[in-house]
Amino acid sequence: MTVTHYAKSEDVNVAYQVVGTGPRDLVYVPGWVSNIEVMWEEASMARLLRRLASFSRLVLFDKRGTGLSDPVPLDQMPTLEERMDDVRAVMDAVDSESATLLGHSEGGNMCILFAATYPERTDGLILVSSYAKRIPSEDYPWAPSVEDRTAERDEIERTFGDPDALPAWIAPSRMHDEAFRSWVARYFRLSSSPRAAAHLLEMNTHIDTTHVLPSIQVPTLCIYRTADADVNVEEGRWIASQIPNARFVEIPGADHFLNASGADMILDEIEEFVTGYRTGPRPERALATVLFTDIVGSTTMAAEMGDHAWRELLDRHNATVRAEIERFRGRVIGTQGDGFLATFDGPARAIGAAHSIIEALNRLGIVVRSGLHTGEIEIVDNDVAGLAVHIGARIAALARPGEVLVSRTVKDLVAGSSIEFEDRGVHSLKGVPDRWQVYAAV
């Protein structure tokens, strides 16, 4: 697990992490609110951070007033200059004489100011979906109106952290993903309080770095999605035109979050800018325990209950399964019909989750079967692949109603625990080589 440290910026403690050992320092400044530990809980965000750390020494931090850094009084919100000084304090703490700055959204303004103020400590500047001001003017018409900004601030304070009321601009392509929405809501809640988030949004409204742009003399890369609803692509084009010799890159997509559509294209551009070459995305491999669950007799239940009642019961089923998976530190990968796929970093926790799911669902009148296998998986975007996943699915299909069936590998890995097993024989698994001995965890 990446360790969080603290740097002193005047009298404020700023939380930061260092990941990777690359030859060049890359300082990532996130947008509006952040929590550098919760970032790692979402697969696509963790993958993005690991990719950045594969070619750099990555430094990330929570700005003062957000996440794990010290809070600030609501009547004394920090100025852009004070927050920019947090960048310098973190760089000093990690002995970074100079670094490339990566600013996303509001974080770009801190990077703009730092690059102009400390060119000797800035190797390069990368702006992704960043704006230069948040009040429209004749020469900058893309900013939202004062009325719209006020309405957004009030809505943020009223619904902050609600997964069903997230701002539409965050990531339209992923709003159908319940697990992603749940993570975003948790990320927000652990990054700020509702009132503090609204105050920070109000502070951002008064940011204006347009006059600073022409004074930037370091190499600059500007990356914008074509249909970003929060920051207009033409806004980005104008910002790039104001920075001497800046390079502008436009990629398809409507999402604003860094770890959404087109993330690999963004990472390719960043890697080439920092290192001079691009290697492309690398599949990640990791040892994990996969858990499959499936409702027994779901078709018959749906027919007997009717669509409306079945839908309500299925919603309760989904909420229950997610809660138990999270309680045992698992990660929901996806749902298909009435089944779940989740991964765990330990087989004992996966078995515990499977039994808890069965017990909790029994109280709802739902019977499920479960199957587990431990092996190497390949992490691809927000999904997992590999032979271990197929084995887990095939074992789940063999399970009896209310049974937790596991592979010999899982049984061997939890040897010495209090978990007991009953032999269920040796089976040929469709599409999987060899024959596999399976056991019921009882």
Range 291-308 average pLDDT: 91
Axis-axis angle for helices 307-327, 298-305 (nearest 10): 140
Supply angle C-alpha 185, 188, 189, rounded to 5. 85
What pLDDT shows up at residue 74? 83
Q: What is the pLDDT of residue 142?
A: 94
Name 8's bridge partners.
13
pLDDT tens digits along 68-112: 999 988 888 788 888 899 999 999 999 999 999 999 999 999 999
Say which DSSP state 399 is in.
Answer: P
410 sits in which H/E element: helix 408-413
Percent of the chain with pLDDT over 70: 98
C-alpha 397/C-alpha 400 separation (Å) is: 8
The length of the chain is: 442
Do the Cβ atoms of 340 and 332 come closer than 8 Å? Answer: yes
Q: What is the mean pLDDT of residues 145-158?
A: 91
CA end-to-end distance (rounded Å), the chain: 32
Strand (E) or helix (H) holding 99: strand 99-104
Confidence category of residue 24, pLDDT binned at 50, 70, 90: very high
What pLDDT is recorded for position 223? 98
Give me the amino acid identity at 376: E
Contact (CB, 8 A) for 262 and 324: no
Tokens of 435: 């024959």
Mean pLDDT of 319-338: 88
DSSP code of 64? T
Give whole-number Cα distances, 413 to 33, 373, 375, 427, in Å.
40, 11, 11, 20
Q: Is the pLDDT of residue 248 over 90?
A: yes
Question: Over 80: is that where the pLDDT of 382 sits?
Answer: no
Is the confidence at residue 283, as pLDDT, over 80? Answer: no
- Tracing tokens 């009896």 back to the chain, one arrives at 400
Q: Are 120 and 223 in contact (CB under 8 A)?
A: no
Residue 416 in 3-state DSSP?
coil
Q: Which domains does the chain have, with CATH numbers?
A: 5-275 (3.40.50.1820), 284-441 (3.30.70.1230)
Q: What is the dihedral of CA 305, 306, 308, 312, to 10 degrees?
A: 30
Quote the strand ranges of 5-66, DSSP E.
5-9, 12-19, 25-29, 57-61
Per-residue pLDDT of 45-72, as tens digits, reads: 998 999 999 999 999 999 999 999 999 8
| Residue 69: per-residue pLDDT | 97
Alpha helices in 76-205 (DSSP H): 80-93, 107-117, 146-159, 178-189, 194-205
Q: How far is CA 85 from the centre of its chain?
A: 26
Whole-structure pTM value: 0.71
CA–CA gap between residue 264 and residue 281 (Å, rounded): 6
- 171-201 residue pLDDT tens: 999 888 888 899 999 999 999 999 999 999 9
| Tokens linked to 294 | 């499936």
pLDDT level of residue 378 (50, 70, 90 thresholds): confident
The CA distance from 78 to 63, in Å, is 10
| Residue 223 or 21, more confident | 223
